[in-house]
Structure formats: C-alpha cells, structure tokens
Amino acid sequence: METVAENACFGGVQGVYKHASKATGCDMTFGLFLPEDASHGPVPVLWYLSGLTCTHENAMTKAGAQAWAAEAGIALVFPDTSPRGEGVADDDAYDLGQGAGFYVNATQAPWAPHYRMWDYVTEDLPALVFKNFACDPEAQGITGHSMGGHGALTIAMSLPGRYKSVSAFSPICNPTGSDWGRKQLGAYLGDDQATWAAHDSSLLMQDAGFDGPVLIDTGTKDQFVDLLRPETLSHAMAARRQQGAFRMQTGYDHSYFFVSSFMEDHVGFHAEAMSKG
C-alpha cells in the first residue's frame, strides 16, 4: 500500500492511499479519514460509496463529512467507483465503464476481468483497511449517493449482520426498472434479468429487508428523480414495515449541496447505531 497524501483534518487525518487490488486486478485508490479517537484504539467505520462519474475524491472534498465524523469519533472510507488504468475497459458514455462500476461483479466481456466492484467493496478493501488502520470490524455502517446509494443498500441487505445501519442520499432505488440500471446491469451481467434482482434495493427490500435501521433522503427537485424511482423503495419499506425513515426533502436537487446539507443527520444516525454494539 502506498500513501498518496495525508493531511491534518478536524483533529484527525484525511489520507489517500493506493494499493494493488486482487478483486479488480489493477491499482485502486481510496480515501480514509481517521478521527483523533483512532489514536487510542479502533473506531467505528462508515463506508461512503459515490455515484456516477465520481472517484474517491468527490465526497472526500465536497460532502463535509469529516467534521461530523470527528465529533462522533468514527472513521470514513471513500472507495473509488470503478477500476481504472491502462487495459481496463471503458465506454464513451458517462454512465458505463470507468467511473460507473455500479458495485457489481461483471460477468460479461469486456468488463469481467476488472469490474468486480462488489468483491472490492465487500472483501478486498475491508481486509486492507482492518489490517492496517485502527478501524473496528464489529462496528460498521454504509451509505452512499445515487449509484453509491444503490450500492450501499444492496450490499447491506445482501450481507446481514455485517452493517449496523445503512443510509442513502438520492439512491437509484429500482435499477431493474430504470435506464439508470437496465443499461448497466445488462452490460455487466448479461441479458438474463434474473441475475439483476440481487442488485435492486426495492426488490431486496420486498424479499428480505435490512436487519437494522435505514435512512433515505431524496430531494423533491432532484433532476434525476424519474431515473431514481424513489417511490418503489418507499412502498417496499412501508409494505415490509421496515425500521427506518424515507424522507423527501423539499427543494433539494441531486448535487453535493444536497448531500452536505444532510450529512450531519446521516453521520449521527450511523454513529448512534454503531454505538449500540
């Protein structure tokens, strides 16, 4: 593992690191904020998965999460959104290829050799983080924005017991029924739509739900709301009587202005859940 940068931040350290990933077969870069509390022992960790076109850097610099994480004494991990580099397949469209890994393990050419973001986020990167940094594997939460909200929800519901809490900012809620999903799932996983269901949070909520609290925020003026299909997840949560909250925030759009406006709520939500052991 290579240290790209480390900066003092709210009494802790905001680092950027690069490592060779077994899952993706290429070098990957991630951000990690460790609060001052980590100098005294392992701290809870919140994973933040970013959206289309983003890298590890977008949320790290725009979300305003470090101040609230420092106050709560929790670490933040900011993975990249896809494999990158020479020899990694890409597409001219912004919503497929590099920057758009969709948090799945691709099975189709030309994506399969490197696009294994599910394994990267759930196995490869956690193993590295918990081995090298003062983070507590027994106190984890996961969140994300847009494509990252989709990833956070599907991962959390598919790995019961791992995460104490899950939240999302304007998540893609029903990718099997949206152009933000059908295109990518078809490209990465193939034409058999039965394989897509495992990556649809609304369908997973119907079938299994989440074994902890859920917090969802979406803006009423989100310019992509028809692609996000928030009503599908809201209905599934209500039908299941899922513990949690689904909030439509008046006047907010899809931007990081929206994310940063409600970051305090989300960090506090996860900090409370992770403190309960």
The correct CATH number of 2-275 out of 1.10.3720.10, 3.40.50.2300, 3.30.310.50, 3.40.50.1820 is 3.40.50.1820
Domains of the chain: which residue ranges? Answer: 2-275
Over the stretch 42-82, which tens digit does the pLDDT of each residue have?
A: 999 999 999 999 999 999 999 999 999 999 999 999 999 99
CA distance 189 to 104: 8
Residue type at 257?
F
Over the stretch 179-195, which tens digit does the pLDDT of each residue have?
A: 999 999 999 999 999 99
Instruction: State the catalytic residue, choosing from 114, 145, 199, 254.
Output: 254
222 annotated active-site: yes
Over the stretch 111-153, which tens digit does the pLDDT of each residue have?
A: 999 999 999 999 999 999 999 999 999 999 999 999 999 999 9
Label the pairing between strands 214-219 and 165-169. parallel
80 annotated active-site: no
Q: Residue 276 is encoded by which pair of tokens?
A: 């309960």
Residue 277 — pLDDT band, cuts 50, 70, 90?
Answer: low
Instruction: State the catalytic residue, choosing from 146, 165, 167, 201.
Output: 146
> What pLDDT shows up at residue 276?
80
CA distance 264 to 93: 33
Q: Mean pLDDT in the chain?
A: 97
Over the stretch 203-262, which tens digit does the pLDDT of each residue have?
A: 999 999 999 999 999 999 999 999 999 999 999 999 999 999 999 999 999 999 999 999
pTM over the 0.95 mark: yes
Instruction: State the catalytic residue, choosing from 167, 222, 266, 270.
Output: 222
Q: Cβ(133)–Cβ(32) under 8 Å?
A: yes
254 annotated active-site: yes
